[in-house]
Amino acid sequence: MNAPPKPTGGTPIWVWVVYALGILAAAIFVFSILFTAGAYFLSDDVDVTFDVSTIAIVLWGGLMALAGGLWMWRRRQGRQ
């Protein structure tokens, strides 16, 4: 007879850390876009310029992609 599968200890802490960093990155990304858009559209008397940091886009985008990819991978593992 096969023994029933043992329950796991839950979600590892590193998964929660990746999720938290991904949520933080998404919040920073969204608020940056909203802040820049607000300044651009609400400032009639002053020219608004913005400097896009490639490092920031790679860092925050990478964290969001990592968290999203991990979430999708874990969901697929759970269905099998």
pLDDT tens for each residue of 28-77:
999 999 998 998 888 888 888 888 899 999 999 999 999 999 999 999 98
Cβ-contact 12, 44 below 8 angstroms: no
- Between 1-5, 22-26, 46-50, 67-71, the lowest mean confidence (pLDDT) is in 1-5
- Whole-prediction pTM: 0.74
- Residues near 68 by Cβ (< 8 Å), separated by ≥ 6? 22
